Structure formats: C-alpha cells, structure tokens
Amino acid sequence: MKHARSLLAPAVFALVATATLSAPALAHLYACKDRDGRVWFRNYKQDGEKCRIAMRTDDPEPTDRGGASSRAPATSKREFAPPGAAGAPRPVEEPGSLDKRMALYAAYVEEAAETYKIPVEFIRAVMRVESAFRFQAVSSAGAQGLMQLMPRTARAMGVNDPFDPRQNIMGGARFLRGLANRYGGDMVRVLSAYHAGSGNVAAKGGGIPFETTEGYVRAVLDHYYRYKTL
C-alpha cells in the first residue's frame, strides 16, 4: 500500500520507522522524549534521552497463574475461570453511554493488564475500537465479544465462553501478549496482526497489510494515547 507510513500519526510513524532496527526478541518498548520534546517509541534507549517503559515484553509468563508460552499458549481453563461459581456478571442491559460501558469492565482490564504485562490503556483502546465495549458484539466475520475474538483464537486462548466479559478480556490480552513477544513490542505490528493475522503481516514483509488495517491501527493508537492522558 503506497504512502502507508506517511498517513500515520507522527508518533506512530516514529515507531514504524524504528521497528526495522535490531533489538532483542523480548525487548521492552520504550517511550523516549528527545530534546525537542517529541516522543519516540523504540525497542532500545539512546544516550541523553528520557525514557520510560511503555510496554513490557520480557515476561511472557502470566503472573500468579498457570504458565502460558509466548507463541502458543497452553489452554488453561482455570486461568480463565469466571469469578465466582455463577460466572462473571453480565449486564442485564448495557448502558447507552460508552464511558459507562467501559467502566463496567475496568476491574477485568486491570487484571488482564497485570497478568500479561500489557498497558491498561492499550487493552482499553483495542476494546474500544473492536466492540465499543459491547460484550455481545458479533462482527460479520464471526468475531465475538469485547475483544472480538474469532472462535479459533478464543479456543486457543482458553476462552470457553466468548461472551463472558472476563474470559474475553483475558483471552484478548493473552493474545496481545503473544503478539507482543513475537514482534518485540512493536505496537504497529502487534495491532496489524491482531486485526489482519500474522500471516498477512508476514506476507507484507512485516508492514501493514491492508488499508482497513492501517485505519484500525491508527484508531487504536489514537485512543491509546488519549487514554494515557486521562
């Protein structure tokens, strides 16, 4: 796709431009501010820059839960067991307000972020674009739930009920963790693969494979940066 990089927001372009540099397979993703105040996302730190870790990618194992591998996580029903014998609570009627729907699942998002070392804002941004925080959402392609998991992906992530809010969020975060490990924390590639599949990203030489995927990546990262300022 021509001019794909130039259409991305400046911070996103900075990430794409540095993604081809060599980095450890499981390096952290750093947000670094240069002398001009611009923020660059890299898999490394440069001397003289103020950096913070924007995404951790060196801890593929879930914390305090069964061991999941980074590439092909083992299914663990216990890991995704809903809280309480009756299962995760589902709203009888979802609020009309997007912010209120987002608030319903805040505890599950925080749990998933802690378990898989993915930023809360990143998970929230994916959920916002995928389903607008509607737990019963189903796409025309068959993706289901808050994180819009395809049935095959849901099963691979240990999700027994894709419409259970907690299971879906945990499964989606687990999938993001595997992609983060695979792509060294490169958020553009992670999102491209989440949207279009790793095979299509590989076929594009690691680039964004489709125009619709480019729009998806931009939308998620726009929400991600916005949530980080709240």
Dist. CA 145–CA 42, nearest whole Å: 32
Q: Give the side-chain half-sphere CA count within 13 A for 145.
A: 22
With beta carbons less than 8 A apart as the criterion, state whether 88 and 153 touch.
no
Distances from the Cα of 157 to the Cα of 37, 39, 146, 224, angstroms? 40, 33, 15, 23
With beta carbons less than 8 A apart as the criterion, state whether 225 and 12 touch.
no
- Residue 214, H or E segment: helix 211-228
111 is catalytic: no
With beta carbons less than 8 A apart as the criterion, state whether 127 and 172 touch.
yes
Q: Which of 79, 121, 130, 214 is catalytic?
A: 130
Supply the residues annotated as catalytic.
130
